[in-house]
Amino acid sequence: MRKKVHYTIPDAQNLLTEIKPTLKQLMKLHKAINMIDSIEIEFDDYHYENNLIGININKKYHRLSYEFYKSLETLEKTGCIVKDLEIGLVDFFSTHEGRDIVLCWMLGEKNIQYWHEIDDGYSNRQPISLLKEKKISSR
């Protein structure tokens, strides 16, 4: 089992330029796979051309699936956690005051601006500025 990577805010921020292209590719692949998956394929012994179309669709689906999982693995190896491919949501493990937290970033946001507790989700995101205020006030 791979060890969980914990990022500081600047380290996670610096990683964004590396992961953005892969995340965009992953989102495109996800949409394409879902589109192909929605196609009903029926094979018929007497319609050779239709069967070839079905075979080609299946080949494309599996090729895209392979590329999808390869891209997902690339992102996961950086230590980020892909949370939602519809909106491009990614989390990074971090720590604050001795406990694990999650830095939360979404494609389209310029910087990492939010965080949340490990057991919370997107709807409970809080501004990073609160972490800085808590750190300053605890000194």
Question: Domain residue spans in the chain?
Answer: 9-137
Provide the pLDDT for residue 45: 65
Which residue type, as a one-letter code, is found at position 74?
T
Give me the residues of the chain with pLDDT under 50, please: 1, 136-139
Provide the pLDDT for residue 133: 56
Q: Are 39 and 56 in contact (CB under 8 A)?
A: no
Q: Are 38 and 125 in contact (CB under 8 A)?
A: no
Provide the pLDDT for residue 1: 45
pLDDT, tens digit (0-9, with 9 covering 90-100), for 96-114: 988 899 999 999 999 999 9
Provide the pLDDT for residue 134: 55
All residues at 6 or more sequence positions from 122 whose CB lies less than 8 Å from its CB, including other chains: 83, 84, 89, 104, 116
Provide the pLDDT for residue 139: 33
